[in-house]
Amino acid sequence: MNSLLDRPVPTAAATLTLRRGAARVLIDNWTGASTVPSRTLYPHQWSWDSAFIAIGLRHLSVRRAQQELESLLAGQWADGRIPHILFNPALPHDAYFPSPDFWQSSNAGRAAGAPSAPETSGIVQPPVHALAAWLVHQADVGESRRRGFLARVYPRLAAWHDYLLTRRDLGGGGLAAVVHPWEPGMDNSPCWDRPLQRVTPTPPDAFQRADLDHGHPADRPTDLDYGRYVRLATDYREAGYDDREARHGFAVEDPCFNALLIVSELALAGMAQDLGATAAPHATRAEELTHRLVTRLWDDTAGLFRARDLGSDALVDERSVTGLIPLIVPHLPPDVVRRLRETLDGPHFSAPATRLVPSYDLTGHAFDPKRYWRGPAWFNTAWLIHRGLSTHGLKEGADRLRQGVLAEAGRSEFAEYVDPTTGAARGTRHFSWTAALTLDLLCADPKELTP
């Protein structure tokens, strides 16, 4: 893999330095079968992290990008879910909390189809995997076909989507619901504050957090929030991770989660066609999901999508980056695209110190420029919005955001996220998806953005 750093590329010296730095992060965080998000704070394999990592790895090694996704799918449950963490058995349990002995997947999840090994969590993360697999396939179609990559991953990814659209249609409106704040990936967003108020927290002396060993308390969720996270995960485990039996204290339809499901359905359509099957069911499902997304979650007055709290069946009155990411959906109504662009460029999301997009409304009551998902600007959400802008032909905005990602990634040493008010690097450094998505924006073929 070291030879990857020495491949000649026709680019300016600064760009080559950035490319080498990003490649080095991914090499250093490779474990032999997959890539950890961070050697310190996140020492196992995370679900949507691996999807983003594969998108970048395809520019270095298509084989390794395929392996990244195949490693993740090895932990898929029989009911179709892809768990949000696959645990490395070589690490001690106190390397991360909640640990394998908390989730007890092979025992508590047996009836739901959890594998006997590896041990996993019982919850999920956003379904960006099919999009990642399709991009990896397109990076070297010949290699993909020689290895039968699509033939292996397509049925697994189709089962994953089936799980989300059957077991997780908790609101009856045809969208997938999340049942834990960790599932939409934006763990500590103010969007979850009101739904979480119904959850009785586990006392802080009943568990030992590991994230504070590597992250500053001012950056991380509070003990009260963590207590609610633990309570929800405990209740789900005690219900055998069965969505039909569990009494979900938290259930939300998230815009980003469902937008990625739509885009990934379109990726499954491409896979099906490549494999000689019919693409129509996936294309039809994507069209139906787009209609439901707009009908159930669009707020035209605010100019963005809102999360829907299924406990009250009401839209959550918070402006978050999750409401902008549906720009990635290719067949949105033109008025929705126009309003999203206006919101993106308006006072709520135009950060003063970076061209990235803050994770929460800069003028919002809960804005915190340092605390996890309550204001900081993230690189994966910027990549998704960049892809959305490009999809809709909004080249000027896409180019500006691309330049922002490249500038901030290099300056911050591939930080997990940055403070949107100062540009200061926050969270852990040498973060894998930051490096991977930087590589993608340096190298990706614009033709891939064509719907």
CB 287 within 8 A of CB 327: no
The C-alpha atoms of residue 380 and residue 389 are separated, in whole angstroms, by 14
Alpha helices in 121-222 (DSSP H): 129-139, 141-147, 149-166, 193-196
**Measured between alpha carbons, how far is residue 328 from residues 264, 297, 342, 425 in Å?**
11, 15, 15, 26
- Sign of the four-CA dihedral 203, 205, 210, 216: positive
* DSSP per-residue string spanning 25-82: HHHHTB-SSSB-S-SSS--SEEHHHHHHHHHHHTTT-HHHHHHHHHHHHTT--TTS--
- Tell me, what amino acid is at 109? G
Is 408 part of the annotated catalytic residue set?
Answer: no
The C-alpha atoms of residue 342 and residue 340 are separated, in whole angstroms, by 5
CB 403 within 8 A of CB 411: no
| Count of beta carbons in the 10 Å neighbourhood of residue 313 | 11
Biggest distance spanned by C-alpha atoms of the chain: 58
Return the SS3 of 304. Answer: strand
Is 183 part of the annotated catalytic residue set?
Answer: no
The C-alpha atoms of residue 271 and residue 154 are separated, in whole angstroms, by 7
- What CA dihedral angle connects 238, 240, 242 and 243, to 10 degrees? 20
Pairing of strands 304-305, 298-299: antiparallel
CB 95 within 8 A of CB 62: no
Q: Percent helix, strand, coil in the chain (nearest 5)?
A: 50, 5, 45
The C-alpha atoms of residue 305 and residue 302 are separated, in whole angstroms, by 8
Q: Which of 49, 79, 183, 187 is catalytic?
A: 187
Spatial CB neighbours of 329, under 8 Å, sequence gap ≥ 6: 259, 262, 263, 290, 293, 388
Q: Which of 70, 416, 419, 440 is catalytic?
A: 416
Phi-psi region of 208 (alpha: psi -120 to 50; beta: other; left: phi over 0): beta
The C-alpha atoms of residue 26 and residue 436 are separated, in whole angstroms, by 7
Catalytic residues: 187, 416
